[in-house]
Every structure is written in structure tokens, then in C-alpha cells.
Amino acid sequence: MPDIPLTTLVLLCVAAMAAGWIDAVVGGGGLLLLPALLLGMPQVPAAQILGTNKAVAIVGTTGAAVTYVRKAPVQVGTAVRIGLAALAGSMGGAFFAAGISSDVLRPVIMVVLLGVAAFVMLRPSFGAHVDRGPVTRARIATAVVLVGGGIGFYDGLFGPGTGTFLVLALTAVLHLDLVTASATAKIVNVCTNAGALAMFAYQGTVLWRLAALMAVFNLAGGMFGAWTALRRGAEFVRGVLLVVVFSLVAKLAFDQWSG
């Protein structure tokens, strides 16, 4: 593990907990966790940042998924099918991620952040009205290819916003409500994280000691976030997510162009 000041280490753990909470409620914990790692350890290669991010995120995502499966109407069969495609896609994305530098990663994250923020602001009622009709085979096939394979590849390659993209895509393709989509997305997200982490571990780009410490806080945040979503829904978190997104965009933009 690189030499990290105590203050930075504490802030990274706080960011991991907050990211776990946000990811469990509406997805997108990587929008906070990955930039926090980039900002806290600018001397560390991007591949190690990506690998460590996955090692932390999979713990919180798994904790949230377990909480959802126990208490929410999760479509487990559908989630597993999509998840298997997502696992393969994320391994492919992680394979290509090894050569990415932080200078390339920061602008990409900023674009993703702004895109998510725009969608959240322009479509605040997205997922409020649910299609109660049966989920057809055509919808499931589309979800497996586009949601599983496509978003899985993105998760392995970059990562931030994957949970949010999964929630939005599952809501759009399968016509789920936001809470059910969030629950289903967690199972899929565990698969994408597992696939990407396996590739990063094989390449030796995971800071395991740092990841283990941050994962404890991410797990706590993820389980509490799932509890929050099941009781309060996602409306409150929309505002929190927007504040976090714009704050990170401003910070990343400053670091990118001042450097």
C-alpha cells in the first residue's frame, strides 16, 4: 500500500461509506468512490485505482444485494441472466483498462457525471409509473445484450455510474419501478464487479490492504443505503446525488486544467 497521510485515509473511508449508501439507493457510488481515489492518490497509476475501486465496491454491492433480496421484490432469475452477460462484459472491459492513464480517465468521468446529472434533473419522475404487464422474452433478451453486455463492458473499462446506468436501463427496458430496478441492478452489479475484479487481480493491479479497510466502510454504507431505499425511496437521494456530482465535476475540472 502506498504511503497515505492519515487525513487522506480517513477521507477515503468516509467516501467509501457514502459511496456504498448512494450506490445502494440509486446506483452510481463509483461516481464518488473512483474520483475520491483519484484525488486522494494522484501518484498511483490509474490501473491500480480502478482495481482497488472494484475490490471495495464489490463488498458494499454484495451487502446491499443481500439486503434487497431478503426484503424487496427482486426478479432473481432475470437478474442472474443479465448478470452472467455483465460478468463476461466486465472482464472484457477490465482487460482493456490496464493501459488507461489518469489524464484520459478524468475527462471521461466528468462527461459521465454531467450526463447522469442532466438525466436526473430532466427526468425526475422516471420510474414512478410502472408497467405491470408481463416481462416478455424480447425484453429480457434486450436486457441481457444491452444492459448486461454493454454496461458490463463499460463497468470493467471505467466503472463510475454503472449502478445508475443499470437502474435507468432496467427501468426503461423491463419497465420496473425504481426500487425494484435498484434491487435487480445490485445483483447484476455484483457480477460486473466480480468479473472486473478477477481481471484486475490477475493483472496485479489491486491495492488489497487499502481495499480491505475501505470495504468495511463501503459495506456499512451499502447495507444502510438498501435499508433507506426500502423505506424512503430515491427522491431524497436525487438531491444528494446532484450535489455530489457537481462538486466532483468542479474539483476534477480544476485538477485537470490547472495541471
Q: 434486450: which residue's cell?
A: 142
What pLDDT, on the 0 to 100 scale, is given for residue 243?
74
Q: Which residues contact 77 (CB under 8 A, 6 or more apart)?
A: none
What pLDDT, on the 0 to 100 scale, is given for residue 129?
52
Mean pLDDT of 187-214: 91
Mean pLDDT of 1-21: 89
CA atoms of 120 and 123, how far apart (whole Å): 6
Please report the DSSP string for 180-227 in residue order.
HHHHHHHHHHHHHHHHHHHHHHHHT---HHHHHHHHHHHHHHHHHHHH
Summarize pLDDT for 125-169 with one digit per residue, the tens: 655 555 555 667 888 888 898 888 999 898 888 776 777 788 888
Enclosing domain of residue 167:
6-258
- Cβ(9)–Cβ(41) under 8 Å? no
Task: Centre a 10 Å sphere on the Cβ of residue 93 and count the other Cβ atoms it contains.
Answer: 24
In this structure, what DSSP letter does residue 129 have? S
Task: List helix spans (H) across 5-148.
Answer: 6-26, 30-40, 46-71, 76-97, 102-122, 137-142
Going by pLDDT thresholds of 50, 70 and 90, the confidence category of residue 185 is: confident
Summarize pLDDT for 36-80 with one digit per residue, the tens: 998 899 888 888 998 999 999 999 999 988 888 888 777 788 888
Mean pLDDT of 13-30: 85
CA atoms of 234 and 229, how far apart (whole Å): 6
What pLDDT, on the 0 to 100 scale, is given for residue 69?
84
C-alpha dihedral sign at 174, 176, 178, 183: negative
Going by pLDDT thresholds of 50, 70 and 90, the confidence category of residue 244 is: low
Mean pLDDT of 9-13: 95
* Residue 32 pLDDT greater than 80, yes or no: yes
- Closest residue by Cα to residue 43 from 16, 72, 8: 8
CA atoms of 249 and 69, how far apart (whole Å): 33
What pLDDT, on the 0 to 100 scale, is given for residue 216?
97
* Residue 85 pLDDT greater than 90, yes or no: yes
Whether residue 1 is contained in a domain is answered as no
Whether residue 119 is contained in a domain is answered as yes
Query: Furthest-apart CA pair in the chain: how many Å?
Result: 55
Q: By CB neighbour count within 10 A (0-12 exposed, 13-18 middle, 19+ buried), where does 238 fall?
A: middle
Whether residue 182 is contained in a domain is answered as yes
C-alpha cell at 112: 459521465
SS3 content of the chain, % helix, strand, coil (to 5): 80, 0, 20
Pick 136 or 207 by higher pLDDT.
207
- Cβ(37)–Cβ(4) under 8 Å? no
Does this model's pTM top 0.85? My answer is: no
Range of lowest pLDDT (78-92, 107-121, 138-152, 202-216): 107-121
Total domain count for the chain?
1
Please report the DSSP string for 54-66 in residue order.
HHHHHHHHHHHHH
